[in-house]
A = this chain, B = another copy of it.
Amino acid sequence: MHLIHSEKCGVRRAMMLIGSKWKMVLIGCLKDGMQRYGELKRSIPDISEKMLIQELKDLVEAGLVEKTSYPEVPPRVEYRLTEKGQKAIPVWEMVERFGCDYL
Q: What residues of chain A have their CB less than 8 Å away from a CB belonging to chain B?
A: 2, 4-5, 9-15, 17-21, 24-25, 28-29, 43-46, 84, 87-88, 90-92, 94-103
Chain A interface SS verdict (over half): helix
Contacts known (A2-B28, A102-B87); A96 close to B43, Cβ less than 8 A: no
User: A43 touches which one: B4, B21, B92 (CB < 8 A)?
Assistant: B4
Q: Which residues of B contact A91 (CB under 8 A)?
A: 91, 94-95, 98
Residues of B within 8 A of A43 (CB): 4-5
In the complex the two chains form, what is the Cα distance from A76 to B28 in whole Å? 42
A94 & B102 in contact (Cβ 8 Å cutoff): no
> Are A10 and B84 touching (Cβ within 8 A)?
no
